[in-house]
Amino acid sequence: MEFSKLCDEIFNKSVEDYHIHDSVDTVIKNPYEVKTIEYYLYLKNWIDAVQWHYEDIIRDPNIDPKEALILKRKIDKSNQDRTDLVELIDSYFLDKYKDIKVKSDAVINTESPAWAIDRLSILALKIYHMAQEANRKDVTKEQAEKCNTKLNILLEQRKDLSTAIDRLLSDIESGDKYMKVYKQMKMYNDPALNPILYSKR
């Protein structure tokens, strides 16, 4: 099975599972074996689903400022968890392809496999929610048609991104491309590098 197909299956399952209760407080029940790539893909999309809904909630113009601050902290934590998980997925690929003989004319890709997969996970959520909007009965025909147009674009985007991911993995496996992963050095999360934080000490 092409890797993008595996991603789609797992991401769609995660999205459907999340929306059974449709609550950011739902406890995840990851159905895959711990530390497998399937486990990490499901967890990745679940984190994205929760954050998607955090972002909806915090845009409520009537939200209590104290609740908004608490939610902002949750979003910050979610962003860090997402980044850590992307790096973990890239570690899976680095290990998988560690014995590949890289060709002398091999080139590096603009992004790593896991960051492309991160975008595929977000697309699964966009498609789910745009389909919901396209099928709403309480909106005008014009709005429903606009959402349908957007949905078709998202579906095409998923197809193109899936093709690109599978091609990238194939090129890495053949030695035509090589992986080089840089850690996301988010300075604002580091008390030693964020001037607002270290100036308070």
Owner of token pair 């979610």: 78
Strand partners, 177: 107
What single-letter amino acid sits at 115? W
The pTM of the full predicted model, rounded to 2 decimals, is 0.91
Lowest mean pLDDT among 24-28, 94-98, 190-194: 190-194
Q: What would the two tokens of residue 184 be?
A: 């996301």
Residues 125-153 have pLDDT tens digits of: 999 999 999 999 999 999 999 999 999 99
What stretches of 36-139 show up as alpha helix (H) in DSSP? 37-58, 65-96, 113-134
Q: What is the pLDDT of residue 185?
A: 65
Q: What is the pLDDT of residue 1?
A: 82
- Locate the DSSP E strands across the chain: 107-108, 177-178
Q: Name the DSSP letter for residue 36.
A: S
Q: Are 86 and 159 in contact (CB under 8 A)?
A: no
pLDDT of residue 196 exceeding 70, the answer is no
Element (H, E) at 12: helix 3-21
Residues 89-121 have pLDDT tens digits of: 999 999 999 999 999 999 999 999 999 999 999
Q: Are 200 and 152 in contact (CB under 8 A)?
A: no
